[in-house]
Structure 1
Amino acid sequence: MKHIIPVLLPGLLLLFLGCSTPADTATMDNNPPALSQYHDYSGNETQLSGGARKIRISTPKGGFDVWTKRVGNNPTMKVLLLHGGPGGTHEAFECFDSYLPKEGIEYYFYDQLGSHYSDQPNDTSLWNTARFVEEVEQVRKALKLDKNNFYLLGHSWGGILAMEYALKYQENLKGLIISNMVSSIPSYNKYADEVLGPQMPENVLAEVKQIEASNDFANPRYMELLLPHFYTKHALRMPLEQWPDPVMRMFNHMNQTVYVQMQGPSEFGIRGNASLKNWDRSGDLARIKVPTLTIGGQHDTMDPKHMEWMADQLPNGRYLHCPEGSHMAMYDDQKTYFDGLIRFIKEVDKDAPKI
Structure 2
Amino acid sequence: MKLSTASAALLAILLTQGCSAPADSTAVSNEQTTTSYLDYSGREDELSGGARMIKINTPKGEFNVWTKRVGNNPTMKVLLLHGGPGGTHEAFECFDSYFPKAGIEYYYYDQLGSHYSDQPADTSLWNIERFVEEVEQVRQALGLNKDNFYLLGHSWGGILATEYALKHQDKLKGLIISNMMSSVPAYNQYAEEVLGPQMPPAVLSEIKQIEAKSDFSNPRYMELLLPNFYTKHALRMPLEQWPDPVNRMFNHMNQTVYVQMQGPSEFGIRGNASLRNWDRSADLPKIQVPTLTIGGQHDTMDPEHMKWMASQLPQGRYLHCPEGSHMAMYDDQKTYFNGLVKFVKDVDSKAMVKE
TM-score of the superposed pair, with normalisation by structure 1: 0.91
Q: Quick one: distance in 2 between partners of 1:43 and 1:208?
A: 55
Distance 1:309 1:30, change over 3 A: farther
Q: Post-superposition shift, 1:245?
A: 0.1
Supply the AA of the counterpart residue of 1:92: A
Q: Output the CA distance in 1 between the equivalents of 2:129 and 2:112.
A: 13
Change in 2 beyond 3 A, CA 1:219/1:80: same
State the partner residue of 2:323.
324
Q: Aligned equivalents of 1:45 and 1:121: distance in 2?
A: 27
Q: What per-residue deviation string (whole Å, max 9, x for no partner) do you get for residues 301-340 of structure 1?
A: 0000000000000000000000000000000000000000
Amino acid in structure 2 at the alignment position of 1:214: K
Distance change >3 Å, CA 202–CA 138, structure 1 → 2? same
Separation (CA, whole Å) in 2 of partners of 1:232 and 1:346: 32
Q: Which residue of structure 2 aligns with residue 12 of structure 1?
A: none
Shift >4 Å, 4+ stretches: 23-26, 28-33
Cα drift, residue 267 of structure 1: 1.4
Corresponding residue of 1:230: 229
Structure 2 equivalent of residue 41 of structure 1? 40
Structure 2 CA distance for aligned equivalents of residues 86 and 319 of structure 1: 24
* 2:128 aligned residue: 129
Of stretches 39-48 and 311-320 in structure 1, the one that deviates more from structure 2 is 39-48
What residue number does 1:259 align with?
258
Q: Which ranges of structure 1 fall in alignment gaps of 5 or more residues?
A: 1-22
Name the stretch that deviates more: 37-46 or 147-156. Answer: 37-46
Tell me if 1:89 matches 2:88: yes
**Alignment-derived partner of residue 113 in structure 1:** 112
Return the letter of the residue paired with 1:282. S
Is 1:152–2:151 an aligned residue pair? yes
Aligned position for 1:341: 340
CA distance in 1, matches of 2:50, 2:28: 27
Residue 67 of structure 1: SS of its match in structure 2? strand
Q: Alpha carbons of 1:201 and 1:26: their partners in 2 closer, same or farther (altered >3 Å)?
A: farther
Q: Aligned equivalents of 2:31 and 2:73: distance in 1?
A: 8
Contact 1:148 1:174 in 2 (8 A): yes
Q: Which has the higher contact order (CA 8 A, sep 6+)?
A: 1
Which deviations, in whole Å up to 9, do the C-alpha atoms of 1:69-117 show, x marking residues without a partner?
Answer: 0000000000000000000000000000000000100000000000011
* One-letter identity of the residue aligned with 1:83: H
Aligned equivalent of 1:244: 243
Q: Which residue of 2 aligns with 1:16?
A: none
Q: Distance in 2 between matches of 1:32 and 1:258?
A: 45
1:150-299 matches, cutoff 5 A: 150-299=149-298
Relative distance call for 1:343 and 1:28 in structure 2 (3 A) is farther
From the superposition, tell whether residues 33 and 71 of structure 1 become closer, same or farther in structure 2 (CA, over 3 Å): farther
Question: TM-score scaled to structure 2, two decimals?
Answer: 0.91
Counterpart of 2:71 in structure 1 is: 72
**Identity score, percent:** 80
Distance 1:74 1:29 in 2: 11
- Gaps spanning 5+ residues in structure 2: where? 1-21
Once residues 352 and 161 of structure 1 are traced to their aligned partners in structure 2, the CA distance between those partners, rounded to angstroms, is 27
- Count of matched residue pairs: 331
Q: Quick one: structure 1 residues 192 and 128, their matched pair in 2 at CA, closer, same or farther if it must change by over 3 Å?
A: same
